[in-house]
Amino acid sequence: MSNREQNPPLITVSKLRKHYGEVKAVNDISLEISQGQVITLVGANGAGKTTFLNLLTGLIRPDRGEISLLGEKINGVAADQRAKRGIVKTFQLEHVFGEMTVFDNIRTACVSAAGMHYSMFKDIQNAREINEWTDDLLKLFDLTSVKYTFVKNLGHGYKKVIDIAMCFAMKPRILLVDEPTSGVGEEEKYRTMGLLMDQIEANHLAAIIVEHDLNLVKELSKETIVMCDGEFIARGTPDQVFSQEKVIEILVGKGF
Amino acid sequence: MVSYIIMLSFSLNFILYISGRVSLTFAGIYLVGAYVTVSLGTFLLGKTFSFFPFIGILFFVSLLGAGIALVIYGAFERYLKTDVHRMITTSSLLMAFSGGIKLKWGTTPITYSAPFLEMGTSEVLGNFVSNYYFFMFGFSLVVMLALAFFLYKTSWGLRFRASSLDGDRTMAQVCGVNQNVVTIITFAITGILASLAGGLYVPIAGASYGIEGNALLLAALTIIIGGVGSIAGAVLTAFILGIARVVTALNMPVLELAIPFIIASATLMIRPFGLWGKEFKH
Amino acid sequence: MNREVSMTIPSRGGRAKWIAALLLTAIAVIIPFFISGYQRTLIQKFLLWTPATFGVYFLYRLLRQVHFGQSIFIGIGGYIIAFSAGKYAITNELMILLPAALVISIVVAYVLGIFITKRTGFYFAVMGIAVTMVFWSLVYKARGITGGSDGISHINNPSLFTIPLGDLALYYFCLLVSVGMIVVMLRILNSSFSLQLRAIAGDLEKAESIGIPVNRMQRLAFTIAGANAGVTGALLAFSYNYVSPSAFDWGYGANFVQSAIIGGVNSVAGPIVGAFGFIHLEFFISTWFADLWEIIIGLTIAIIVLTVGEDGVTGIVKAVFGRIKCKLRKQQESTDKHVKS
């Protein structure tokens, strides 16, 4: 109980449900996440992981259930507002601003985070604070060398990192990462994940990371949840979780 | 009244749905269909009306529509990359088209009312209504049913649907559906529907400069309200609009032309993809 | 043609552009003394046409939306003037009427924007057209109030701070307002507002997920374009002393899109060049080949889009300049080599 007092739950999910007809994407899930808590979410394709994340960010509305941020119910809050309040998600497929440079991509996130939505008369080239902030982020994520390259000309791995960098620009409280290493080569995988975990720790963020690479999970994850058919079926350290009968069945049976 | 909306909107609907492309050429083909029908009608049949030659004219007109559509496809479509380019080009061509028509026929309407007048009348709700309405409605219905049959009950129809917005064009291609053929046939069908719509409506309202603008608008609003990709949806929407039109014409004439737009705006607020539309990324 | 746009990389020839702009403005100031009154009216129309075209450019460049609806606001601005300075003779004072036109346009644009911007692409364009037709039919039918298809003529001369303005004075006023609006638009184009709009056009979901209030910003962009056209419409009404429902014809709205396309939508000079080209093309053709107007403009636009795409005339100019620069550079390199050896 004293733990609760030290770490009040950041996000509380209560009996969340999203069904698509017959398919039970998210089936009455409840979960509590505290500040600084990093959870890895694994599960076969179609288990409902992305749907769950999208419900948290507001991209989808649930059929039933409640989502609360620091005790305040946010079911009705729009996606862009939730991002402002600290729930930020990366994308599994490429969702970056291809027709702009890397610099502009990050800068857009900074501008948005600073709330400068309606600033119409200040020349953005002169917005020194924003530009410096952007440069800092670029350095943090090792993107300075490609600062002026158009994102559509960059490789998949780069785009993932840019996506993550943009999320960090939002100064999130909880970061939802949807398969950060999918489509990324072996070497890059470790580098990206390392960078990600370092930043999460450094900023004491909460995080839910969806990941398919089980080796990576075993190595880097402290707390793992296994999801299957819309439900959380196991939870614990990777060793605990991966030694369970039903989990092995799913991993081998449904195949990753 | 309602049926030409059906045909027209369906033409647009169809092309959007199947080929995923926006094209405003159908409005131009509508115009052509209307004018050609009038010309042929007066030329061949004068003031009289005989059933089968009229059908013949309609048949010819539809083939003409298909032909024009194919010409446009061959000449232009392939060079247009984005929807926006397509929109601008087709709307400009539309302008050019109607300008050409204006040149030849001027701005006064020409009519071929024989079918309308000679079909006799029946009594509906206490008013005498020309049988032509029923003919037009029945004809359109037959065409729609044929199309529906094609799309849903034949194997070719399946191929079309697989390549449409409902399905996945690349996958369909991998499965052996020739996309070029699908697109060409889609254009042809669009042409047929559009010119038929024009031709059918002519006995009621005649052909005049500027009708294509109205037609374009109506078709577009119909798919905004009804959504893309559902034949039943298009038909039902046409009914809704037709009824709304009549009701406002009787009670609040000022709003008559505005009513489709008002309904469309309302629909956009509550169901941005239309009442029967399927969600897709545009 | 792939036109990549970045706000980080400053466009080349920045200073040259400023000089060109000042030069053009200077010409516009002096030119009334060298040309006939009728030609001056044409230039005036061009001056007023440009901000409205800028509105189309704005929405296309930033949001990839084709805006057929500028004519709505031209019409609204126009009829406000027609009512106040013409039919109902309320006031002729520009200092009252222009702000009124501006405010009313903004309000209407915002309200209309609520559902016009709900969808993008095709639907946006169609809704734009639909709204113009609705206004057209309302104005056309309400004969008692608006004069129907006859329109309203006999609009009084405007007055500025109660001093009545003659034709020449009106010209300079229009010049002032136009240049002012263009400068404002240019400012906005370089702001963080525009950056976010381009992000919205780039990837809507991602934009939303980084906290950008997508709907509100789209509406705002639409409102800005509309405000431009509203003021323009008001001044156009004074310039021609006549308004009619044809201001709400969708073809009229399409004219602005066509102007934007002719000039090219990838360069800031585009709307200016396009408006100029369009106005003079329209004048030229309607004088000699009136009947062929639709055909010619339709085919012209189609050809332009098919060949140079959306870059228009400015695109052609840029390409030509680019090639010249390339050749000069190559010449420079070869002379350097000669010097070295």
pLDDT at residue number B65: 66
Which chain C residues have a beta carbon less than 8 Å from that of B258? 134, 137-138
Q: pLDDT at residue B45 above 70?
A: no
A202 Cα to chain C: minimum distance (Å): 21
Confidence of residue B280 (pLDDT cuts 50, 70, 90): very low
C115 Cα to chain B: minimum distance (Å): 6
Instruction: Give the closest residue to C62 by CA, choosing from C178, C179, C202.
Output: C202
Beta carbons within 10 angstroms of residue C20's beta carbon: 12
C284 touches B at CB < 8 Å: no
Domain finish residue from A171, A192, A227 = A171
- The answer for C 290-319 residues in CB contact with B (under 8 A) is 291-302, 305-306, 309-310
A72 and A101 belong to one structural domain: no
ipTM reported for the complex surpasses 0.90: no
Which chain B residues have a beta carbon less than 8 Å from that of C302? 76, 89, 92-93, 96
- Element (DSSP H or E) covering residue C243: strand C242-243
A21 Cα to chain C: minimum distance (Å): 24
Q: Based on the structure, what is the number of domains in chain A?
A: 2
Domain finish residue from A120, A137, A171 = A171
pLDDT above 70 as % of chain B:
28
Confidence of residue B38 (pLDDT cuts 50, 70, 90): low
Instruction: Give the closest residue to C193 by CA, choosing from A119, B231, A178.
Output: A119
pLDDT at residue number B278: 54
Mean pLDDT of B167-172: 60
Neighbours of chain A (3+ CB pairs under 8 A): C
Confidence of residue C110 (pLDDT cuts 50, 70, 90): very high
Confidence of residue C4 (pLDDT cuts 50, 70, 90): very low
pLDDT at residue number A47: 74
pLDDT at residue number C103: 92
Mean pLDDT of B117-139: 64
Which chain A residues have a beta carbon less than 8 Å from that of C205? 59, 91, 95
Query: Which of A232-241, B134-143, C101-110, C306-315 is modeled with the greatest confidence?
Result: C101-110
pLDDT at residue number C10: 42
C126 touches B at CB < 8 Å: yes
pLDDT at residue number C1: 30
For B66, the domain range is: 2-208
Query: Which of C84-98, C195-209, C324-338 is modeled with the greatest confidence?
Result: C195-209
Share the mean pLDDT of chain B. Answer: 65
pLDDT at residue number A232: 86
More confident call, B250 vs C219: C219
pLDDT at residue number C251: 77
B257 touches C at CB < 8 Å: yes
Instruction: Give the closest residue to A52 by CA, choosing from A85, A89, A82.
Output: A89
Question: Which tokens hold the place of B98?
Answer: 């109607």
User: Is the separation of the CB atoms in A110 and A134 below 8 Å?
Assistant: yes
3-state SS of chain A is CHHHHHCCEEEEEEEEEEEECCEEEEEEEEEEEECCCEEEEEECCCCCHHHHHHHHHCCCCCCEEEEEECCEECCCCCHHHHHHHCEEECCCCCCCCCCCEHHHHHHHHHHHHCCCCCCCCCCHHHCHHHHHHHHHHHHHCCCHHHCCCEHHHCCHHHHHHHHHHHHHHCCCCEEEEECCCCCCCHHHHHHHHHHHHHHHHHCCCEEEEECCCHHHHHHHCCEEEEEECCEEEEEECHHHHHCCHHHHHHHHHCCC
Any domain includes B74: yes
pLDDT at residue number C106: 92
C19 Cα to chain A: minimum distance (Å): 20
A221 and A186 belong to one structural domain: yes
Quick one: DSSP state of residue C86? Answer: I
pLDDT at residue number A201: 87
B175-201: pLDDT as tens digits: 666 666 776 777 777 777 777 777 677
C300 Cα to chain B: minimum distance (Å): 8
**Residue of chain A with shortest Cα separation from C10:** A125
C111 touches B at CB < 8 Å: no
Mean pLDDT of C47-54: 88
Mean pLDDT of C10-21: 64
B58-97: pLDDT as tens digits: 666 667 766 766 676 666 666 666 666 777 777 777 777 7
Q: Based on the structure, what is the number of domains in chain B?
A: 1
Any domain includes B224: no
Beta carbons within 10 angstroms of residue A250's beta carbon: 22
More confident call, B18 vs A36: A36
Asked if C touches A (at least 3 Cβ pairs < 8 angstroms), the answer reads: yes
C148 touches B at CB < 8 Å: no
pLDDT at residue number B282: 33
Q: Per-residue pLDDT tens, chain A, 256 aa: give them.
A: 445 445 568 888 888 888 887 888 888 888 888 888 899 998 887 778 888 988 998 888 888 888 988 888 888 888 888 888 889 998 888 888 888 888 889 988 988 888 888 888 877 777 788 888 888 888 888 888 888 888 888 888 888 889 988 998 888 889 999 888 877 778 888 888 888 888 888 888 889 999 888 888 888 888 888 888 888 888 888 888 888 888 877 776 654 4
For A59, the domain range is: 2-86+172-253
pLDDT at residue number C107: 93
Confidence of residue B125 (pLDDT cuts 50, 70, 90): low
Quick one: DSSP state of residue B124? Answer: E
More confident call, B208 vs C29: C29
The length of chain A, given as a count of residues: 256
**Residue of chain C with shortest Cα separation from A169:** C210
Nearest by CB to residue C199, choosing from A108, A122, A123, is A108
Query: Which of B78-92, B215-229, C211-225 is modeled with the greatest confidence?
Result: C211-225
Any domain includes B161: yes
Any domain includes B168: yes
Any domain includes B239: no
Q: pLDDT at residue C254 above 60?
A: yes
Query: Which of B9-13, B119-123, C166-170, C307-311 is modeled with the greatest confidence?
Result: C166-170
CA distance B22 to B17: 9
Domain finish residue from A171, A198, A228 = A171
C30 Cα to chain B: minimum distance (Å): 36
CB within 8 Å: B254 and C142: yes
Which chain A residues have a beta carbon less than 8 Å from that of C8? 101, 103-104, 107, 147-148
CB within 8 Å: A104 and C202: no
CA distance C111 to C106: 9
Which chain B residues have a beta carbon less than 8 Å from that of C250? 213, 217
Neighbours of chain C (3+ CB pairs under 8 A): A, B
A34: domain CATH number is: 3.40.50.300
CA distance B251 to B244: 11
pLDDT at residue number C5: 42
Interface test with C, best of B95, B101, B102 (most C CBs within 10 A): B95
CA distance B197 to B192: 8
CA distance B157 to C213: 42
B41 Cα to chain C: minimum distance (Å): 27
More confident call, C251 vs A90: A90
